[in-house]
Amino acid sequence: MFCAAVDWGTSSFRLWLLDRAGMVVAERRSDEGMQHCHRVGFAPVLEAHLAAAGAPTGLPVMICGMAGARQGWQEAGYLDLPARLDTLPEQAIRIAGAAREVFILPGLAQRRAEAPDVIRGEETQLLGVLDASDDTRLFCLPGTHSKWVAVEQGAVTRFATFMTGELFALLSRHSILAHAMPQDMEVREDAPRFLEGVEDGASAPEAATRRLFGLRASQLLGFSDRGDGAAYLSGLLIGVEIAGARAFDGGEKALTLLAGGPLARLYERALTVHGYTVATRDAGEATRRGLHQAALRRWPHCAPVEAAS
Amino acid sequence: MFCAAVDWGTSSFRLWLLDRAGMVVAERRSDEGMQHCHRVGFAPVLEAHLAAAGAPTGLPVMICGMAGARQGWQEAGYLDLPARLDTLPEQAIRIAGAAREVFILPGLAQRRAEAPDVIRGEETQLLGVLDASDDTRLFCLPGTHSKWVAVEQGAVTRFATFMTGELFALLSRHSILAHAMPQDMEVREDAPRFLEGVEDGASAPEAATRRLFGLRASQLLGFSDRGDGAAYLSGLLIGVEIAGARAFDGGEKALTLLAGGPLARLYERALTVHGYTVATRDAGEATRRGLHQAALRRWPHCAPVEAAS
């Protein structure tokens, strides 16, 4: 075994034990994210999962995500732009007083007064999918806080975060629109109301807060069905994101989408409709590969640690 | 005493006892809105307030608002557009089996597939401020669901609802932005960050979901203060509403604003910056006057009911 790789988000924890080639030896998932560990402590949660996964004593650990936020385990700071992704590992901070080597990767900060922005976690996904150190590409990483990232010659030069996923969660569960859709229903990318929402959001983003109420009114007046509510809302918010990304993409329409599952299919469809050529890579795998890359750079000469017999 | 006038909203109840000239004899307020009464019943709440205010037996009651929604006391339906506001009273529905005459005014429905919309409560405010039956004006009624309404020759011809207030409440309390602002802090209309938000929202509404995250990032990176978070958010959402209203106002920039308190001052400032000439009328007074107008039309020959001695 070579290292443990941990993706530690706000509300989720994911651990892989990897060999030197990056192959998965064991894996653990839980909902013990930053918010949970803020109360119970980070070290006990990590050690419990390492033990349960069969990690030997002394196996080093590479972490990315919100565990490195100010309100996390220990603040891992931010790299300023332009940020070469292959320098992330050397800027990782070491947890003081841990029983083994535990590092947390830093995030990225865009310190521009007119477009201040931060990334924490997605930088590691990007590291995991760069093909060469001079890679130049446009990325979209959808999620709670959807990120669009420009990488030039292996360095992140600018990025933009859209609150798409969080708005969907808030509006579908806690607004008047909770009455306008069944809860936790999966949206299909070929649903007509999803595509209608994408079109409305992308073509007239200024009308979005009006369309939100219109979704409810449309049902009250019999123009649409409650079963289609989530599809329209999802499409509308993704459409607004696409409208906002026009000012960001610089005319570049070849896009690498880092996502998985239904969300990947929704974004693929919406982006393709709006002229993007989309290559999709699995987000979870990208994170694991990024952590593995970081571990290889941090511990280049490390001999594998043998599991205790 | 001539009648009781009741503004019965989703989460609020307001009652006035009026004389024939519309002067207020007594007044009651509570948070026993539709959501509360849905559980405990509407009649007992109404009768308790009438008794506490000293209303005589048999005093008729005119109600507007969500008490007339499908999930309210009794559905009062909608008038289709174009809807003459002076026909509202004759379309009021009478509560069956009540101990006295109790009427609920209908709402308005815009049955257009491309812009379905409904109003319930604001139609009564409009009735309260129309100067003559051939009045032609553009109105803005800000709130949880902000309404823009075109009245032509005394009839509502079209309207648009923006979810501005509900978005502010959701984002400021339940999103990541709850960390970005003190709770329940009053926003001042001359706060620079409010005006900056208005400008950002109105000039680039497509960037709004990005600006939302930027508000948090801006504080993390030291570009703005937590104390200004609510001002920026309020400005941004009002700015987006103004951008969306451009497609609605038809170039008309003389606007009657029906609002009160701090909200009136915020909208006055934001609308004036964007070229509107704003005349403000108090929203609560407009509702009371509208209910009084409706009562006069419903009971034109009614003799005043004397209070029991």
pLDDT tens per residue across span A143-194? 999 999 999 999 999 999 999 999 999 999 999 999 999 988 899 999 999 9
Is CATH 1.10.3720.10 correct for B164-275?
A: no
CA–CA gap between residue B184 and residue B188 (Å, rounded): 13
Q: What is the pLDDT of residues B256-290, one digit of tens each?
A: 999 999 999 999 999 999 999 999 999 999 999 99
The count of CB pairs under 8 A between chains A and B is 124
Q: Do A117 and B217 touch (CB under 8 A)?
A: yes
Contact A96, A54 (CB under 8 A): no
**Domain residue ranges in chain B:** 3-162+283-298, 164-275
Residues in chain B: 309
Give B75-87 pLDDT, tens digit per residue: 999 999 999 999 9
- Using CA atoms, how far apart are residues A154 and A133, in angstroms rounded to an integer? 5
Q: CATH number of the domain at A3-162+283-298, out of 3.30.590.20, 3.40.640.10, 3.30.420.300, 3.40.50.2000?
A: 3.30.420.300
Option in A111, A176, A240 nearest B206 (CB): A240
Question: With an 8 Å Cβ cutoff, are B208 and A171 in contact?
Answer: no
- pLDDT tens, A215-226? 999 999 999 999
Whether residue B306 has pLDDT greater than 80 = no
Phi, psi for B89 (deg, rounded to 5): -60, -40
- Kindly tell me if the per-residue pLDDT of A116 is higher than 70: yes
A contacts of B204 (beta carbons < 8 Å): 247
Antiparallel, parallel or unpaired: β B13-18 and B3-8: antiparallel
Amino acid occupying residue A244:
G
Q: What pLDDT is attached to residue B49?
A: 97
> Token pair for residue B269?
């400032």
Chain A residues with CB under 8 Å of B79 CB are none
Give the rounded distance of the alpha carbon of B38 from its chain centre: 21
pLDDT digits (tens, 9 = 90+) for B141-181: 999 999 999 999 999 999 999 999 999 999 999 999 999 99
Report the C-alpha gap between B182 and B167 in whole angstroms. 17
| Residue B307: per-residue pLDDT | 60
For B212, nearest residue in chain A (alpha carbons)? A163
pLDDT band (50, 70, 90) for residue B309 = very low
Nearest to A221 among B118, B162, B217 (CB): B118
How do residues A94-105 score in pLDDT, each as one tens digit?
Answer: 999 888 999 999
| SS3 at position A227 | helix
Reported ipTM: 0.93
Query: B164-275: same fold as B3-162+283-298?
Result: yes
